[in-house]
């Protein structure tokens, strides 16, 4: 039976955001009421990359658990705080930690913070993540500018845009072939080169998988054939929603480990290595993003 909010009770399908436009407006306003900052730039920090918050000036911090509807972080390396402040003279809001499907969150809950940022008037979104290198030319510690993505769960309709569409957020059928802003990709590349990072900056395709298991050897080999350069368990839901609502988006993956491509390899992926690499490259990631922000 159709329900008031457009959900279909009979189908049992989880379709459509639990948060209406009015809900998101209310949540955004309740956040803005608690801070002085009025950011136009948003940054989502991936596993172990939340240290960027340390370089913000005039910080104002809200815990996710104190914001209606926000998913609480349950993964080490994701502090679960919304940090407002100034970066290179620009007002920004930074998500220190994100939610993932494998934590048990519905994809619509994962993207709520992005819609809240949109209604707080954030126009540019930086999305970062830790990812495993599928491309064998990539080294651990490389920084990959995302040029496109592969939404593997999307093949089974795991997409935050599934469900009733509210045109006030964006169109029913948004294009997804230019999710990662050409302008920002070029700016990140040029900035990285100026900062002497050319040797460890790559460009490539990110694949989103559900996790929490790391990939099998066969899955990694499949991704390689599919043209994927790096894989992880996040980012794509946020990027799809940010594009849908008209934000300019860029994505940066830190290659924290090499994916295992050999059936007889003794190597195994692990979250500790992911966090360790994040720590080692933290300063470079911070410098790169801060300098790009300064030039926006």
Q: Which of 271, 273, 276, 282 is labelled catalytic?
A: 271
Residue 257 contacts which entry, ligand R1P, ligand HPA, none (Cβ below 5-8 A, type-dependent) = ligand HPA
Partner whose footprint covers residue 35, from ligand R1P, ligand HPA, none (CB < 5 to 8 Å by kind): none
Q: Is 103 a catalytic residue?
A: yes
Give the span between the Cα atoms of 182 and 284, in whole angstroms.
Answer: 22
Instruction: Kindly tell me which residue out of 135, 235, 256, 290 binds ligand HPA, with binding defined by CB under 6 A.
Output: 256
Q: Which stretch binds ligand HPA (CB under 6 A): 139-147, 177-185, 229-237, 238-246?
A: 229-237
Residue 201 near ligand HPA by CB under 6 A: no
DSSP 288: H
* Distance (Å, whole) CA 174 – CA 176: 6
Of the residues 78, 108, 149, 244, only one is catalytic, namely 78
What is each CA distance from 194 to 184, 264, 287, in whole angstroms?
15, 41, 11
By the 10 Å C-beta count (0-12 exposed, 13-18 middle, 19+ buried), 125 is classed as: buried
- d(Cα 38, Cα 92) in Å, to the nearest integer? 8
How far, in Å, CA of 293 to CA of 55, rounded? 13
Residue 47 annotated as catalytic: yes
Toward ligand HPA, which CB reaches closer, 126 or 208? 208
Contact characters 128-167, ligand HPA, x per CB under 6 A:
--xxx-----------------------------------
Of 225, 261, 294, 282, the C-alpha closest to 50 is 282
Residue 78 designated active-site? yes
By residue count, the chain amounts to 296
Q: Which residue of the set 73, 103, 131, 135 is catalytic?
A: 103
For residue 232, state whether it binds ligand HPA (rule: CB under 6 A): yes
Per the annotation, the verdict on 290 as an active-site residue is: no
The residues carrying an active-site annotation are 47, 78, 100, 102-103, 130, 233-234, 257, 271
């Amino acid at each position: 039976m159709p329900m008031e909010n457009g959900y279909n009770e009979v189908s049992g399908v989880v379709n459509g955001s639990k948060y209406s436009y009015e809900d998101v407006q209310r949540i955004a306003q309740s956040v803005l009421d608690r801070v002085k900052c009025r950011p136009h730039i948003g940054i989502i920090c991936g596993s172990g990359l939340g240290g960027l918050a340390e370089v913000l000036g005039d910080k104002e911090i809200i815990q996710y658990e104190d914001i209606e509807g926000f998913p609480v972080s349950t993964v080490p390396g994701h502090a679960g705080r919304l940090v407002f402040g100034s970066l290179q003279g620009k007002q920004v809001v930074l998500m220190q930690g994100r939610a993932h499907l494998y934590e048990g969150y519905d994809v619509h809950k994962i993207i709520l913070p992005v819609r809240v940022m949109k209604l707080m008037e954030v126009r540019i979104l930086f999305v970062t993540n830790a990812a495993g290198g599928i491309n064998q030319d990539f080294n651990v510690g490389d920084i990959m500018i995302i040029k496109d993505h592969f939404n593997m769960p999307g093949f089974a309709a795991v997409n935050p845009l599934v469900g009733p569409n509210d045109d006030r957020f964006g169109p029913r059928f948004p294009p997804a072939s230019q999710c990662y802003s050409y302008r920002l990709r070029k700016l990140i590349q040029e900035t990285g080169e100026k900062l002497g990072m050319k040797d460890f900056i790559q460009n490539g395709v990110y694949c989103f998988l559900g996790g929490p298991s790391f990939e099998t050897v066969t899955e990694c080999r499949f991704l390689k054939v599919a043209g994927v350069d790096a894989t992880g368990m996040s980012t794509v839901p946020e990027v799809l929603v940010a594009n849908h609502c008209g934000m300019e988006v860029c994505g940066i993956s830190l290659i924290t480990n090499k994916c295992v491509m050999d059936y007889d390899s003794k190597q195994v992926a692990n979250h500790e290595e992911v966090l360790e690499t994040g720590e080692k490259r933290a300063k470079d990631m911070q410098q790169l993003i801060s300098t790009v922000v300064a030039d926006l």
